[in-house]
Amino acid sequence: MVSRRELLGWLAALFLSAVSGCLYKKEIGEKEAARGESPVESAIKSKVYVIKTGDRKRGVKELFEHFGSENLSGKKAAVKANYNSADPFPASTHIDTLSAIVDELKGRGARVVMAERSGMGDTKEVLEAMGVMELAKERGFDVVILDELKGSEWIGEAPDKSRWKRGFLFPKLFKEADAVVQTCCLKTHRFGGNFTMSLKNSVGMVAAYGPDDGYGYMSELHSSRYQRQMIAEINTAYKPGFVIMDGIQGFSKGGPEAGTLIEPGIIIAGNDRVAIDAVGVAVLRIYGTTGDVSKGNVFEQEQIARAAELGIGASGAEDIEIIPVNDEAQDICSRIRESLGR
C-alpha cells in the first residue's frame, strides 16, 4: 500500500519535472531564436489569407480585418507600393489597391505617408503618370520621393555575413514609422531577381546612390551574382505590419514591366514576407512559369532560402497556413497547398 503522503510526494515530483521540462524547452527555444535558429517546438504558423475577388476595395477591406485591427489613431503609417515604372498593372500597383489601403489606414485614424523610388524612370514623373500624386491630394496623404532624401535621412544597414560590400542605405522614414504596410504585385523578373513580389519590392526602399558620396548601391546589386541573396538581406532592415499582394492579374513570364498575363483573380495578405512570396511562387507554378521559378522546391528559390535563413519568415511550407477568406478561394488555396508541397 502507498501512503497518502508518498502519493502526494510522487505527484508533486512529477509536476515539478513537467514544469522544469517546459521551462527548459522555452529557454532553449529562446536561445535558438536569438541565434536565428528555429525553436525546439513551435505551433505558430505564418498565416496567409487569400480572397477570390475582382473588387479591390472589397478585397482589401476584408483582408484588413485580419491585420488592421491595431489602433492607429494619430500614428504614422508608411506605405511602400510598387511603382518601379510607369507601366500599368500588374507591372505597377493598381491605383484602386493603393486607394483602398489608404482609405482603410485613414479610417483607423492613421497619418499616411507613401514613399517610393522607381528603378525604370524618374520617380516623381512615374508617380504623376500613375495617378498617385492626384490620389494623394484627393485622399490627403503625403508622398515622399526617396531619391530626394538628404544623407541625414538615411540609415546605414549592414546585415551579418552580408553579400553587400558596404551594406546599404535605408530610409529613416520607414524605421521610424509606427506601422509599415507594403503592397506588391505578382510577377516574374527577367533581370536577375527571377520573381518580384514582397521581398524584391523592398529594393525600392534602398538608395540608388549615396546622397553624400554618390556610391551606386543599385549598380552593385544588379551586377552581383549574389543579387537574389542581397534582395533578401534588404528585408532585415524592417518588419511590415502586413503585406497585400494584388494577384488579380500577374506576369507568369517576363516582367517586371511587361510579360505573359495571367488572371488568378485573387488578393493575398500576410505579415510574413517569406510566406507571401512562397505562396506567390506557388501560384506562378500553377499557371506555368519560367524555368528558374519552376526549378526545385519553392523554398530552394534563392530569395526565399536566404530570407528564411535570416529569420525573416517561414523556413518551409509546413510553417505556412493558407486561409481562404471566402468560399470562392477554396479551390485556388487547395492548389496552392499542393504546389507548395512539391
157-185 confidence digits (pLDDT tens): 999 999 999 999 999 999 999 999 999 99
Maximum C-alpha span of the chain: 88
Element holding 62 (H helix, E strand) = helix 56-67
Position 69 scores a pLDDT of 59
Position 326 scores a pLDDT of 97
Neighbouring C-beta atoms of residue 42, cutoff 10 Å: 11
Is the C-alpha dihedral spanning 237, 45, 92, 304 positive or negative? positive
* Rounded alpha-carbon distances, angstroms, from residue 6 to 14, 18, 92, 110: 12, 18, 72, 62
CB within 8 Å of 230: residues ≥ 6 apart: 162, 163, 164, 221, 224
Residues of the chain whose pLDDT is less than 50? 1-42
**Burial, 337: exposed, middle or buried (Cβ in 10 Å; 0-12, 13-18, 19+)?**
middle
Q: Determine the residue type at 242.
A: F
Of 245, 254, 235, nearest to 292 by C-alpha is 254
Number of H helices, E strands in the chain: 13, 12
- Rounded CA-CA distance 112/144 in Å is 11
Is the C-alpha dihedral spanning 253, 318, 97, 58 positive or negative? positive
Name the one residue in this structure whose C-alpha cell is 505590419.
241
Q: Are 103 and 140 in contact (CB under 8 A)?
A: no
Position 13 scores a pLDDT of 42
* Three cell numbers, residue 99: 486607394
Position 2 scores a pLDDT of 44
- For residue 46, the Cα-to-chain-centroid distance in whole angstroms is 12
Q: Are 76 and 110 in contact (CB under 8 A)?
A: yes
- Rounded CA-CA distance 311/18 in Å is 30
Q: Are 278 and 319 in contact (CB under 8 A)?
A: no
Q: CA neighbours within 13 Å on the CB side: how many for 129?
A: 15
Q: Are 56 and 97 in contact (CB under 8 A)?
A: yes
What predicted TM-score, i.e. pTM, was given to this entire model? 0.86
* Three cell numbers, residue 83: 511603382
265 φψ region: left (φ > 0), alpha (ψ -120 to 50), beta (else): left
Beta strand segments in 128-257, E: 142-145, 154-157, 168-171, 179-189, 194-196, 242-254
Beta bridge partners of 46: 320
Position 11 scores a pLDDT of 46
